[in-house]
Homo-oligomer: A and B are copies of this chain.
Amino acid sequence: MIHSLSLSDVLADHARSRPQVTAVVDGQLRLGYPELDERVSRLAAALDGRGVSAGDRVLWLGRNSHAVLELLLACSRLGAVCCPANWRQSEDELRFVLADLAPAAVFHEESETVAALREPSWVRAGEEYERLLGQAAPREFPQVADTEPVLALYTAAFGGRPAAALLSSAALVAHATSLLVVRQMEPGFTFLNNGPLFHVGTMMFCLATFQIGGTNVFTPAFDAEEVCRLIDAERVTQAFLFGPMIDAVARANAGGKYDLSSLRFVSHSPEWDDMITVDDSPWCRSKMGGYGQTEVGGMLTFLGLAEGGAGFAGRPSPLVQVRLLAPDGSEVPAGEVGEICARGKTLFSGYFARPGLNAEKVRYGWHHTGDLGRREPDGTITFIGPRLRMIKSGAENIYPAEVERALKSHPAVADAAVIGVPDPDWHQTVKALVVLEGGARATEDDLVEHVRGLLAAYKRPRHVTFVPELPKRGFTPDYDALDAAHGGGNYPGE
């Protein structure tokens, strides 16, 4: 156990090494590392008192809050597993999560859905949570091995229902460290948690900030004006911002009311670049690109480690290995498409209570991401698209992502998704769902010709349907919804 370093251990060290550093800011609440450490010990004792044991799950249903980090750290101290779940899910979806996870304790904010499901043992955020902490006495807990799962995040609906990916302290610490490298994070780093903490994209930066002994600022959800205010007030180094959110923040601060110069972030637009400090770390230089999924702890490859490379997913994190494998487990040569497979320090520990799926994911000694990619001659990796979304037309494989990229390169296209529709002669043909830029015009023929100019002819859409917007699941189109609405089906994986 001398080599073990759990999240709880990291906290215990920060409490000693950084007694004067603010660990957490959430509204009026400000906690230094020693106070956070003490609160986490109280919370662990309280959970223990309520019968939560090693391996048990603790569920958070609410918006972003310091309580999410505290619950995660208390679970680490206790050997339990913390699951911050999407509380905006439907009642049916939440019922599924409750049945699936069988949590030993539930903490929640108020909502209509939660009210419908609430049981007497559930603890309400705010006063009830503080009362629980106040009543518990902090105490020592025996060391918990860092290979034990500590975080569960629901992810990808393989087979129609989400599964909870389990991440160990060792994986989370390793992934955080890889972000410290690529983002060049230093002590003093202050991260604004304005994205959802039930998603790995925000959680991974929360934990990297924690790892380097920085400050996590929590805000319930994205609000452009509030983001400006917090960046100014807390001298925030980075927030969870991209594309349209950056535009919204720049608009909210158009009058220069707030000083955003503490933000060291990606170049975006002239107005934005004037407000902030454009950062030169590999992460920011590369506009934050890469390839990742919850199952690898966040990012598997970083564009920032492959400047000038051909593959837009970049090169592997320093703490993993990546192989592109054929279905028989053999490695495909550079230039050919295979499944992106991985091994390494940041990988998850399987899905909770999914032995069949877990066996499917680890084959030939490699984690199979379910996504297809290609190794370019310079060694960089191109992400092609999900294996199960591959379209088969005649004898040819068509990867939606490639066609979508081609469509999006047309100036009139704001967003695009591609599905396969059954075809008696070709098995499937390509159908494109396209959102046009406001005020822009383009015909079906324009777009088909545009794609034809960029890709092999067989990849061009046979049908283009213009839609006002695309349904999304996280950052990616909700393909199931699109298939249902636009006649998709007959995929080779089905």
A186 at the interface (CB under 8 A from B): yes
Contact mask for chain A residues 154-189; partner B; CB cutoff 8 A; 1 contact, 0 none: 000000000000000011010011101100111100
**Residues A343 and B3 in contact, CB atoms below 8 Å apart:** yes
The verdict on A322 contacting chain B, using a C-beta distance below 8 Å, is yes
- Judge whether A5 and B343 touch: CB under 8 Å: yes
7 closest residue pairs by CB, A with B: A17-B379, A13-B321, A180-B181, A17-B315, A19-B379, A5-B344, A184-B184
Give the docked Cα–Cα distance between A2 and B171 (Å): 11
Across the interface, which residues of B come within 8 angstroms of A375, CB to CB?
16
Closest beta carbon of chain B to A302's beta carbon, Å: 10
Contact A367 B17 (CB under 8 A): no
Give the shortest distance, in Å, between A133 (CB) and chain B (any CB): 24
In the complex, which residues 279-309 of chain A have their Cβ closer than 8 Å to any Cβ of chain B? 282, 305-307
Cβ contact within 8 Å between A282 and B12: no
Which residues from B are CB-within-8-Å of A177?
177-178, 181, 318-319
A334 to B178, CA, bound (A): 31
A309 to B322, alpha carbons, bound, how many Å? 40
With known contacts A180-B181, A187-B315, A378-B19, A5–B282 Cβ distance under 8 A: no
Indicate if A377 sits at the interface (CB-CB under 8 A): yes
Q: Smallest Cβ distance from A89 to chain B, in angstroms? A: 30
Q: How many copies does the complex hold?
A: 2
Interface set, chain A 1-46, CB cutoff 8 A to B: 1-5, 9-10, 12-13, 16-20
How far, in Å, is A475 (CB) from chain B's closest CB?
25
CB-CB < 8 A to A347: which residues of B?
A: 2-3
- The distance from the CB of A117 to the nearest CB of chain B, in whole angstroms, is 36
Complex contact B212–A318 (CB within 8 A): yes
Residues 136-169 of A contacting B (Cβ, < 8 Å): 143, 147
Chain A interfacial residues counted at CB < 8 A:
58
Given contacts A2-B367, A143-B365, 18 further A-B contacts (CB under 8 A): A2-B343, A3-B170, A4-B343, A5-B321, A5-B344, A5-B345, A9-B321, A10-B321, A12-B321, A16-B323, A20-B379, A177-B178, A177-B181, A177-B318, A180-B181, A186-B282, A187-B315, A213-B318
Give the residue name and chain of the B residue nearest to A211 (CB). Answer: B318
Name the residue on B nearest A323 (C-beta): B16
Judging by beta carbons under 8 Å apart, are B321 and A378 in contact?
no
Nearest Cβ distance between residue A11 and chain B, in whole angstroms?
10
Whether B305 contacts A187 by the Cβ 8 Å rule is yes
Q: How far is the CB of A87 from chain B (nearest CB, A)?
A: 31
Give, as a whole number of angstroms, the nearest-CB distance from A140 to chain B: 11
Bound Cα distance from A150 to B174, whole angstroms: 21
- Which B residue sits closest to A176, measured CB to CB? B318
Tell me, yes or no, whether A461 is within 8 Å of chain B by CB. Answer: no
User: How many Å from the CB of A343 to the closest CB on chain B?
Assistant: 5
A354-385: CB near B (< 8 Å → 1, else 0) gives 00000000100111000000010111110000
> Does A489 touch B at the CB level, under 8 Å?
no
Asked whether any CB of chain B lies closer than 8 Å to the CB of A195, the reply is no
The distance from the CB of A388 to the nearest CB of chain B, in whole angstroms, is: 22
- Bound form: Cα–Cα A268–B181 in Å: 26
Contact in complex: A380, B184 (CB < 8 Å):
no
Chain B residue contacts of A344, Cβ below 8 A: 3, 5, 9
Interface residue A401 (Cβ < 8 Å from any Cβ of B): no
A282 contacts across to B, CB distance below 8 A: 186
